[in-house]
Structure 1
Amino acid sequence: MNRIQKFFTQIKGLLVHRFFQVLLFIILGLFAYGLMFSNVKPERVQVELFQPAEQTIRSTKTVEDTYKTEQEKEEISKQVADVYSLKKEYAKNKVDLISSIFDSAIEVNKETDPDHKEDEEKEDKKEPVKTDAQKVSILKEKLTDEVNKNIEESVFLALVQADEDELKIAKDSTITAVNNVMSSRIAASDVENAKKKVVEELGYMSINGDMKKASTSLARTAIIQNVFFDKDKTEEQRRKAVESVEPIRILQGQIIVEENQLVDRDVYRQLELAGFLNTESTIYPYIGLLLFIFLTFAAFYYYFYFSISKKDNKYNQLLIFSLVFILSMATMKTVSILADLKNSNLEYIFPGAMAAMLIKILLNDKLAVAMIILLGSYGTIIFNGDTPGNLDFSMGLYIIFGGLTAIIILSRPNFKSKVLVAGLLMSLINMAFVFSLIFIMDSHYTRMEYLYYAAAAIGSGVGSAVLTMGLLPFFEAGFGILSSIKLIELANPNHPLLRRILIEAPGTYHHSVMVANLAESACEAIGSNGLLARVGSYYHDIGKTKRPHFFIENQMNEENPHDRLQPETSRDIIIAHAVDGGEMLRSHKFPKEIVDIAEQHHGTTLLKFFYHKAKKQDESTLEAAYRYPGPRAIMKEVAVIGIADSVEAAVRSMKHPTPEKIEELVSFIIQDRISDGQFDECDITMRELSIVKHSLCESLNGIFHSRIEYPESDKLGQKVKE
């Protein structure tokens, strides 16, 4: 074990204690807090009224500009015209008044005209004929003082002098004219014009001159203002107009003053509203940041200590997650500082997908997604530009989208060993996403700026891939992790040990490839690591290269040397291949998982052939002496490889394998291992063993399917024999 592994092993030993577990999360939280502290610190700017601004200042929050809002409301209120209401009842009242005056005149005419009285009345009451003045007096008595005051004497005289027919004609004409004119809107300034209009309408009356003048005078008197200012409705209209005014706000991120721009009273007032002139210190941003960090790490604490069952795996994951987090956050802060110094959008070059790719390859998809969401959230704070307090959500989306893209790309089997290819593909997707953000925000840039954004997006993708490939060996060495990339390297046919098997033990090599095919399919069927099973199968019999000819698959038309050996000697040679294989793999610095497969694939099974041979020679032979030393399979992959190893050898020795015979044989071997307790230390279930059996049968039926015998082939074979 190298120094790095020893160091991390010591740390994992400390993490067994809850105190150090909590301490690690506190350290990570303080680290994140320290990096983001300056990004939430309230900014105090030095500005003076009527002096140029030394820097461009953006608002850190959205606040309402109450002064401008009130100004806008006042302006809108002034624009609302006064509301005038038409008093329709005025027309009816005046028509009724005119009608009453004429009716009163008709009554006076009847009362004072002897021709209208009955004959008996005339003889009994021989009253003298009333004079016009007396008639006028009687008429006035029938009317009110207010009405009498507004009517000229000549009008009364004309009314009492006219006969009933004239009065009726005049009444109808006057009422019609007054009603027509008073039905329209008459403002105070329009009264005189309305009176002229009623005079014009009465000009066509077919009555004598005095009566006509009287009617005209009465009509003019009846025409009055019927439209008046409606205070309540006017105020209601103004209230609605004021309520429709949207509050004028200073938006978060909005530029309040440009560099070298004169700070006038309006700008100064906006700076004060945005809190830049407030000299009082506030702790709320720091409390908010602390609470945010606490919530995120509390969620991860819950996951690591309540969702992961295997302790050793838990501590490995926690340490790897912590290291990747620290590395990513430090890189993020460095990029943000450089972007601020150069006053450019350099943040888009941040290799955010690096963390997702490392966690995806080293750990699992869940933690990779969690990591990229965490970095995206913190990125909104760290990449908030030159305005502390802002949250750059576009940058957060960019980091999250890039990381999720990397996880999806690496999820494809063909891309597990092609990190650089995945980085190039991710660069194109990053570039498309950056342009989508630019177009959504309707930002206008020059051609060079567009090229700059494209180059930054490509740099982010390629940089993530390069950093991932560069850091993977350190994590693999430090934690003894067997990554997919490492497995694919070991599966290379040009690997020295694989070439040694091929050259020195070709039969074993062929057998190992067959076992690899069987084990990989079976492991993938039960959700285990199929790639590990394949690579482990390649090397599971590497120990046979020490004595290749003592194993039947390498004996080509040769005498079996075991026929001349004692059972004890044969036993030692056969059993030694598992022990020798483990030692050879350790000497070549192979991962522990591959070494375990070589040592455990036979478990503690019995060498039945040599045991029974020895039993015939000596009845006192103990069964334990002819068992492999083990240990038994601990991983599911080892259990599956052990089954596939026995099944492949057994089926290959069958003369005419059929699907029924193959299924019977596979069932027997699995059941024999179960009854022998070979899976007692492995968490493989009966249901998974049933799936393994089905997968092995399918694969073997495809390999050993029956072939049609062609006559021509038989003849050709006979000629070759001759």
Structure 2
Amino acid sequence: MNAIVNKWYKNHSLIYKVLLFLATTFLIVYLFPKSGKFKYNFEKGKPWQSETLQAPFDFAIRKSADEIENEKQEILETSSAYFNVDTSYANDIFNLYEQAFDEQFKNDSLLQKRRVLFSLGEKIIKDIYKYGILKEDYDFKDEKQVVILEGQVQKKSVTYASLTKPDGFKIALNSALNNSDYLEYKNDLLSIFFDIIKPNLEFNEVLTQDVLDEEINSISLTRGQIEKETLIISKGEVVDEAAYEILESLEAEYESQVWSESNYNWVIFAYTLLVALTLLMLLLFLRKYRPEVFLNNIKVTFIFFNVLLMILLTVLIINYNSQYLYVVPLCILPLVLKAFFDARLGLFAHVLTVLLLGFIVPNSYEYMFLQIIAGIVTILTVSELYKRANLFISVGQITLIYIIAYFAFFVIHEGNITTLKIETFGLFILCGLATLFVQPLIYIYEKIFGLVSDVSLLELSDTNSKLLKQLSNEAPGTFHHSLNVANLAEACANEIGANSMLVRVGSLYHDIGKMKNPSFFTENQSHTLNPHDELSSIESAKIIIDHVINGIEIAKKNNLPDRIIDFIRTHHGTSLVYYFFMKEKSNNENIDEELFRYRGPKPFSKETAILMMCDSVEAASKSLKEPTSTKIDAFVESILDKQMSEGQFLNANITFKEIELIKKVLKKKLANIFHLRIEYPE
């Protein structure tokens, strides 16, 4: 049982990667649409590149979105509006009119005129109540068809213009009395009508909308039928408008019929294979070319998380509205990966992500071309991300590339620019603005995953930071030594293409452990008294060796990133504290060498190897007497050759050629430090 547990524990890192791989594959497949893909690619206005195509089954030609929209507009214009009429009041209106009229006209001398006026008023009432009076005026065209309902029964069907508006009785009265002998009685009749005329037509909005929805839902989505084995298009034939609509209809029918529920499991299985294959390529790339990343499960998780995040955002946008597809800032992926790792890894992961998205996006070839080109531009243009101007310039270049490439594809598809929508370019501008979110995103990732970017390194390199200020006050000699080492290491890193910012920051903090016992280190001794004179060689060596452990403790207490702590751990490797070792050996031949040896580990990257070389050279250079170019060259050669002979660089991915380049830089820098000049003849 213990053997099994030990075996599992020994391989826990690999097991975690397998589980991460499976989980990511499952989530991506879950996000993908559960349907197959049409096996033919076609574009309007381009030749048909596949074999001559015949209809594999009977299918209907689907109407375009514009055709369906036009039919909807036609229905909206021709559909009827429904009104409920209240007939109860209209039946009593004449009795009310007669009573109001008698009250208004009591003078018997006007008997003849009263009869004419009374008849005129009755006629007006009959006219305005013929179809009914509206409670309010609605925004309908005059020719709009109106259905009048009495109860639930259709009574009449007229135009909207036939209905009397709320103030229609005024218009009717003016029309009847104008140019007549009874114009003087207009106000009297008007006052009667004001009292008795009430609207009796109410708009039935619910029924009108229900009928409208029913008519719209009854719109046929297809027109015409293609019989099985009918020739659709021949090889080399240009895909015109008609052929394009037929091919789109076939694609939709193909995916709905062929990829039916019975084949669902096969579709899922096929998607799983392709996604797993793509993610496997990413893992193999890390294992072969980025082994330090592959061995770090947090970093592998970080990469997979970002790939999954980009796919999730794209799927959400497609499900909402595929027209906004290019708003997704996919170039954030290579930007983030370049900030934390390197450009090659960023581009590789970006390309694989775009390949995965090619399964689900419309116009997949166009989308993949644009995104891959944009990713390449991102990698080529973005450098020193911690400089804000660089990011803004790069985002501008990325946006410009998007616009140019999209314009080119549009012209190829349409053959002209008359139908080009300027709004589409706005989507690319929004994408560029969203890409600027990479700065706060990098900060968030640093806190969540414990990674370090150039932005954080720039902050840590500030010599006014709390920890470096403390080092400057408590161990000024060590601080000065660290600055010199940082300058040397940065120059060496630039020469061989290593991370100069990282090695500079690592150099600034590599000796912070000396703050615990600063006076025991020669660079901090300002007087002739040496505290080591009162200690044995073993005790002195222990204090010297412990500055590494003390440095790690101080770094962790001050929340320095692990990548910086690695410099503290490795800057002496497993070398000997040579001075005290030889001092003890002169008194005792049988000594334990391990008591005088640093605990390691050895440097395991170019940057940590550079620090070891520069630290040793800078510290030992203080002992040079009357330095000359020849002395400096021999001095640098002897120190670095000794470190190589001890195998200090065996774990670092640094070559002999790079070490030789570092030697040249160190020789040149030391010569400048000691101000060597050509000796002129007297």
Q: TM-score range by the shorter chain?
A: 0.5 to 0.7
**Aligned runs of 1:213-612 on 2, under 5 Å?**
249=239, 254-255=244-245, 276=253, 280-282=257-259, 291=270, 294-295=273-274, 297-302=276-281, 304-305=283-284, 308-309=287-288, 310=291, 313-314=294-295, 316=297, 318-340=300-322, 345-384=323-362, 391-411=363-383, 419=391, 422-441=394-413, 442=415, 444=417, 449-450=421-422, 452-466=423-437, 468-556=438-526, 558-562=527-531, 564-568=533-537, 569-612=539-582
Partner in structure 2 of residue 202 of structure 1: none
Q: Given that residues 64 and 250 in structure 1 are in contact (C-alpha distance below 8 angstroms), is that contact kept between their aligned partners in structure 2? A: no
**Structure 1 residue 272, shift from structure 2 partner:** 7.2
**Structure 1 residue 28, shift from structure 2 partner:** 3.5
Partner in structure 2 of residue 77 of structure 1: none
**Structure 1 residue 333, shift from structure 2 partner:** 1.0
Letter in 2 for 1:37: P
Query: Secondary structure in 2 aligned to 1:606?
Result: coil
* Cα distance in 1 between the residues matched to 2:634 and 2:284: 45
Q: 1:1-43 CA distances to partner (integer Å, 9 max, x unpaired)? A: xxxxxxxxx99975513xx755644543443333332575789
Of 620-629 and 391-400, deviating more is 620-629
Partner in structure 1 of residue 29 of structure 2: 33
* Cα distance in 1 between the residues matched to 2:236 and 2:285: 50
Q: 1:513-560 CA distances to partner (integer Å, 9 max, x unpaired)? A: 22122223334444543332221111011112233343332344x334
Q: Given that residues 600 and 638 in structure 1 are in contact (C-alpha distance below 8 angstroms), is that contact kept between their aligned partners in structure 2? A: yes
Letter in 2 for 1:16: L
Question: RMSD over aligned Cα, in angstroms?
Answer: 4.5
* Cα distance in 2 between the residues matched to 1:383 and 1:289: 17
Percent of aligned pairs with the same amino acid:
28
Of 682-691 and 651-660, deviating more is 682-691
Rate the CA distance shift 1:528–1:275 in 2: closer, same or farther, 3 A. closer
Q: Given that residues 304 and 314 in structure 1 are in contact (C-alpha distance below 8 angstroms), is that contact kept between their aligned partners in structure 2? A: no
Partner in structure 2 of residue 660 of structure 1: 630
Q: Given that residues 600 and 630 in structure 1 are in contact (C-alpha distance below 8 angstroms), is that contact kept between their aligned partners in structure 2? A: yes
* Cα distance in 1 between the residues matched to 2:578 and 2:296: 42
What TM-score, normalized to structure 1?
0.58
Letter in 1 for 2:381: I
Q: Given that residues 376 and 400 in structure 1 are in contact (C-alpha distance below 8 angstroms), is that contact kept between their aligned partners in structure 2? A: yes
Rate the CA distance shift 1:275–1:591 in 2: closer, same or farther, 3 A. closer
Rate the CA distance shift 1:705–1:446 in 2: closer, same or farther, 3 A. farther
Rate the CA distance shift 1:428–1:307 in 2: closer, same or farther, 3 A. closer
**Structure 1 residue 420, shift from structure 2 partner:** 5.6
**Aligned runs of 1:65-144 on 2, under 5 Å?**
66=231
Q: Given that residues 35 and 267 in structure 2 are in contact (C-alpha distance below 8 angstroms), is that contact kept between their aligned partners in structure 1? A: no
**Structure 1 residue 584, shift from structure 2 partner:** 0.4
* Cα distance in 1 between the residues matched to 2:223 and 2:35: 14
Q: Given that residues 571 and 603 in structure 2 are in contact (C-alpha distance below 8 angstroms), is that contact kept between their aligned partners in structure 1? A: yes
* Cα distance in 1 between the residues matched to 2:424 and 2:62: 34
Of 355-364 and 677-686, deviating more is 677-686
Q: 1:145-187 CA distances to partner (integer Å, 9 max, x unpaired)? A: xxxxxxxxxxxxxxxxxxxxxxxxxxxxxxxxxxxxxxxxxxx
**Aligned runs of 1:679-690 on 2, under 5 Å?**
679=649, 681-682=651-652, 684-690=654-660
* Cα distance in 1 between the residues matched to 2:389 and 2:522: 36
**Structure 1 residue 566, shift from structure 2 partner:** 2.6
1:649 aligns with 2:647: no
**Structure 1 residue 328, shift from structure 2 partner:** 0.6
Letter in 2 for 1:36: F
**Structure 1 residue 576, shift from structure 2 partner:** 2.9
* Cα distance in 1 between the residues matched to 2:334 and 2:275: 17
Partner in structure 2 of residue 222 of structure 1: none
Q: What runs of 5+ residues in structure 1 fail to find an aligned partner?
A: 1-9, 70-244, 257-269, 385-390, 711-722
Q: 1:413-446 CA distances to partner (integer Å, 9 max, x unpaired)? A: 8769955664354334434444444455455468
Rate the CA distance shift 1:28–1:491 in 2: closer, same or farther, 3 A. same
Q: Given that residues 375 and 399 in structure 1 are in contact (C-alpha distance below 8 angstroms), is that contact kept between their aligned partners in structure 2? A: no
Rate the CA distance shift 1:16–1:25 in 2: closer, same or farther, 3 A. closer
Letter in 2 for 1:426: I
Question: Which protein is bigger by CA-based radius of gyration?
Answer: 1
The structure carrying a bigger helix percent of its residues is 1
**Aligned runs of 1:607-626 on 2, under 5 Å?**
607-614=577-584, 622-626=592-596
Q: Given that residues 20 and 301 in structure 2 are in contact (C-alpha distance below 8 angstroms), is that contact kept between their aligned partners in structure 1? A: no
Q: 1:336-378 CA distances to partner (integer Å, 9 max, x unpaired)? A: 22325xxxx3222111111222222233333322332233334
* Cα distance in 2 between the residues matched to 1:589 and 1:532: 16
* Cα distance in 1 between the residues matched to 2:244 and 2:594: 82
Aligned length: 494
**Aligned runs of 1:56-67 on 2, under 5 Å?**
66=231
Partner in structure 1 of residue 101 of structure 2: none
* Cα distance in 1 between the residues matched to 2:598 and 2:264: 66
Partner in structure 2 of residue 637 of structure 1: 607
Q: Given that residues 420 and 462 in structure 1 are in contact (C-alpha distance below 8 angstroms), is that contact kept between their aligned partners in structure 2? A: no
Rate the CA distance shift 1:634–1:706 in 2: closer, same or farther, 3 A. same
Rate the CA distance shift 1:273–1:542 in 2: closer, same or farther, 3 A. closer
* Cα distance in 1 between the residues matched to 2:255 and 2:579: 92
* Cα distance in 2 between the residues matched to 1:58 and 1:379: 33
**Structure 1 residue 405, shift from structure 2 partner:** 1.8
Letter in 1 for 2:361: F
Query: Secondary structure in 2 aligned to 1:16?
Result: helix
Q: Given that residues 39 and 382 in structure 1 are in contact (C-alpha distance below 8 angstroms), is that contact kept between their aligned partners in structure 2? A: no
Rate the CA distance shift 1:255–1:499 in 2: closer, same or farther, 3 A. farther
**Structure 1 residue 327, shift from structure 2 partner:** 0.6
What TM-score, normalized to structure 2?
0.61
Letter in 1 for 2:320: L
Rate the CA distance shift 1:438–1:11 in 2: closer, same or farther, 3 A. farther
Q: Given that residues 423 and 461 in structure 1 are in contact (C-alpha distance below 8 angstroms), is that contact kept between their aligned partners in structure 2? A: yes
Q: Given that residues 658 and 705 in structure 1 are in contact (C-alpha distance below 8 angstroms), is that contact kept between their aligned partners in structure 2? A: no
Rate the CA distance shift 1:285–1:703 in 2: closer, same or farther, 3 A. farther
* Cα distance in 2 between the residues matched to 1:639 and 1:274: 59
Query: Secondary structure in 1 aligned to 2:366?
Result: helix
Query: Secondary structure in 2 aligned to 1:308?
Result: helix
